[in-house]
Amino acid sequence: MPALLTLAWIYFRIGLIFVGGGYVLIPLLNHIMVEQYRWLTLRQFLDGLALSQLTPGPLAMLATFTGFRAGGFLGGLVATVFIFIPCVVLMLIIGRNYHRLKNIDLIRTTLDGLLPAVVGLVAAAAWNLGASSLTGVKEFIILGIGFAVFKWTRVSPMIVILGAGLMGLLIN
Amino acid sequence: MTLTEIFLTFAKIGITGFGGGMAIVALTERICVREKEWITAEEFLHGLAFGQILGPFSLNVCTFTGHHLRGIRGGIIAAIGFILPSFLLMSLLSWIYFAYHKLPRLQAALMGTNPVIIGLILVVAIDMGRKQIKGPNGILLALAAFGATVFLKLNAAWVLLAAAAWSLGVSVYHRRHT
């Protein structure tokens, strides 16, 4: 029980720092789990990172893996819940005040003026993912087919993604 | 809108959310904005802007959309629904890993999903851009955000905060001059 409380406190603090931007998560978790508490070796940490990239969901699912190592299934549960509590609470607070804030003229025009930048960031994510995974002609053909399906048909994106995953397993 | 429907929808997004943050956001946009029309495109993008400043934005966008539908309870249910499948799968894989020291051979699946996911993000970016980017100001801002992230490797949260400051300046300027 005290071990679980310690875990909860550690991951809650990580969640608070994490709120400043997701990019600190990996070095921070590495420092705490590998160097400070020595719950994982560096190799195990890197394998866990690979696992969270392979599985669906945010990269922060790394918390489940490291928590599991520290305290089994319950450890993983506590780690996952507590790392996400700060951002969920903050998003709920924002959601609660969003419509009131949007009625203030200056805030609404600022928010709307911001939207092109958000679109730019979405496009940048496509670019970055492409730079690391579009390695050959085959990938570009799959990209083209995917694009056409999403753009001009009403097929559920989930089915397309799962189908592409199965195809990847069969072909490679 | 029942809480069960919210839970099931976000659980489905959680199961298919391969490829990290923006891939999940693109998937959520297709389902919540286009398919179910639960939230307008503008509101969704506002949620994404807040979500990017506050860390794990794929989860944040789900919480925001859930809250929009059914308040605090909707937000919490959406967050749990989204994380639960990943959590169960990750627990199972962690158990296998620490018991047998084996990583599953799933790399090949990603070779199929990654290009498709890029296609999905592109389609969403184009649809959003057509609606949201108007005039030379908007085009410049979108290009600046893209360039700052891709070429200067700046953190998305900082890019958004800078864009917000710029947008606030433009709004104040227009107020003074009209």
- Model pLDDT for residues B47-103, shown as the tens digit of each residue: 998 888 887 889 999 999 999 999 999 999 999 999 999 999 999 999 999 988 877
Question: By C-alpha distance, which of A113, A73, A145 is closest to B123?
Answer: A145
| Residue B162 included in any domain | no
Q: Are A32 and A47 members of one domain? A: yes
| Residue B137 included in any domain | no
Q: Are A65 and A107 members of one domain? A: no
Q: Which residue of A has its CA nearest to B107?
A: A54
| Residue B117 included in any domain | no
What's the pTM? 0.90
Q: Are A138 and A114 members of one domain? A: no
Q: Which pLDDT score is estimated for A49?
A: 86
For residue A80, list chain B residues with Cβ-Cβ distance below 8 A.
83, 87
> What's the DSSP call for residue B57?
H
Averaged pLDDT score across all residues of chain B = 90
Q: Which of residues 3-42 of B touch A (CB under 8 A)?
A: 12-27, 30-31, 35, 42
The confidence band for A2, taking pLDDT boundaries of 50, 70 and 90, is low
| Residue B125 included in any domain | no
**Higher local confidence (pLDDT), B102 or A153:** A153
Instruction: For residue A61, give the nearest of B18, B86, B155 by CB distance.
Output: B86
Tell me whether residues B107 and A143 touch, CB distance under 8 A: no
Q: Which pLDDT score is estimated for B59?
A: 92
The DSSP annotation for A67-122 comes to HHHHHHHHHHHHHHHHHHHHHHHHHHHHHHHHHHHHTSHHHHHHHHHHHHHHHHHH
Residue A1 has pLDDT above 60, yes or no: no
- Model pLDDT for residues A19-45, shown as the tens digit of each residue: 755 567 888 888 888 889 888 898 888
| A137 interfacial to chain B (CB closer than 8 Å) | no
| Residue B122 included in any domain | no
Give dist(CA B28, CA B9) in Å, integer: 9
**Chain A: nearest CA to B131, how far in angstroms?**
10
CB A46 within 8 A of CB B7: no
**Higher local confidence (pLDDT), A57 or A89:** A89
Query: Which of A74, A97, A120 is the endpoint of a domain?
Result: A97
Q: Are A35 and A53 members of one domain? A: yes
Residue B139 has pLDDT above 90, yes or no: yes
Q: Which pLDDT score is estimated for A143?
A: 93
| Residue B124 included in any domain | no
Residue A89 has pLDDT above 90, yes or no: yes
- Model pLDDT for residues A60-72, shown as the tens digit of each residue: 888 999 999 988 9
Q: Which pLDDT score is estimated for B12?
A: 92
The confidence band for B107, taking pLDDT boundaries of 50, 70 and 90, is confident
Q: What average pLDDT does range A77-89 have in this prediction?
A: 94
Q: Are A30 and A90 members of one domain? A: yes
**Higher local confidence (pLDDT), B147 or A46:** B147
Query: Which of A70, A97, A124 is the endpoint of a domain?
Result: A97
CB A143 within 8 A of CB B115: yes
| Residue B147 included in any domain | no
Q: Are A75 and A141 members of one domain? A: no
Q: Are A54 and A88 members of one domain? A: yes
For residue B10, list chain A residues with Cβ-Cβ distance below 8 A.
none
Tell me whether residues A166 and B45 touch, CB distance under 8 A: no
Amino acid code (one letter) for A165: G
Domain of A117, in residue numbers: 103-133
The confidence band for B140, taking pLDDT boundaries of 50, 70 and 90, is very high
Q: Are A65 and A1 members of one domain? A: yes
Calculate what percentage of chain B has a pLDDT beyond 70.
100
| Residue B63 included in any domain | yes
> What's the DSSP call for residue B137?
H
Amino acid code (one letter) for A112: D
Tell me whether residues A58 and B16 touch, CB distance under 8 A: no
Q: Are A57 and A10 members of one domain? A: yes
Q: CB within 8 A of B104, min separation 6: which ones?
A: A54, B93, B96
Q: Are A59 and A32 members of one domain? A: yes
Amino acid code (one letter) for B151: F
Q: Which pLDDT score is estimated for B24?
A: 92
Domain of B82, in residue numbers: 3-103
Q: Which pLDDT score is estimated for A21?
A: 58
Query: Range with the lowest mean pLDDT among A39-43, A92-96, B18-22?
Result: B18-22
**Number of domain units in chain A:** 3
Structure tokens at B80: 């749990």
The confidence band for A50, taking pLDDT boundaries of 50, 70 and 90, is confident
**Number of domain units in chain B:** 1
